[in-house]
Amino acid sequence: MLTAARKRSRDSYFDSATPIFLKFIENNLIFFMIIRAKRKRIAILVTMNIITNAINALEESYINNQQSSCNLQITIRTELLNSDWVAIEIADNGVGMSQEVQQRLFDPFFTTKVVGKGTGLGMSISYQIVTEKHHGQLRCISSLGEGAMFIIEIPIRQNKSI
């Protein structure tokens, strides 16, 4: 009974947060207009993967009663680093990650999720897209219990082969 009530409460929180979440995405996608259409789709794929993981971390934090629903937060920040590079920072105040998890975070098939919930490919593919396709960097800064921040840095101009 308590589990069902928690699930309803959690679902209603995340459902009510959807318009705010979409507003963040809408405001920050304008920034991606600098990037060509093909690259924009790829950039959105990477950011949506990171945001989905952030939502999962917030959900886990909420379920484990580490935070009340009004304190859950995802912050998306974009920045023009210079005339050649852009940065996208996606941060959450969820459960965070240990050093051991961070060291394996971009390994194929590594997951912290329960069996059947994740494939362990999302972060690996995102890392590959950012570093190999865009010649950029994808980093994670996190502490257990303190949330996580992912920083994507990519050059604005790319070779025609992308």
Which of the two residues, 132 and 14, has the higher pLDDT score?
Answer: 132
Mean pLDDT over 140-145 rounds to: 92
First vs last C-alpha separation in the chain: 52
Contact of 54 with 90, CB cutoff 8 Å: yes
Amino acid at site 86: V
Residue 17, pLDDT > 60, answer no
> Is residue 110 predicted with pLDDT exceeding 80?
yes
- 25-59 pLDDT per residue, tens: 544 544 444 444 445 566 678 888 999 899 888 88
Q: What pLDDT, on a 0 to 100 scale, did the predictor assign at position 115?
A: 75
Output the pLDDT for position 14. Answer: 45
CB burial string 81-120: b at 16+ within 10 A, e below: eeeeebebbbbbbbbbbeeeebeebbeeeebbeeeeebee
> What pLDDT band is residue 89 in, cutting at 50, 70 and 90?
very high
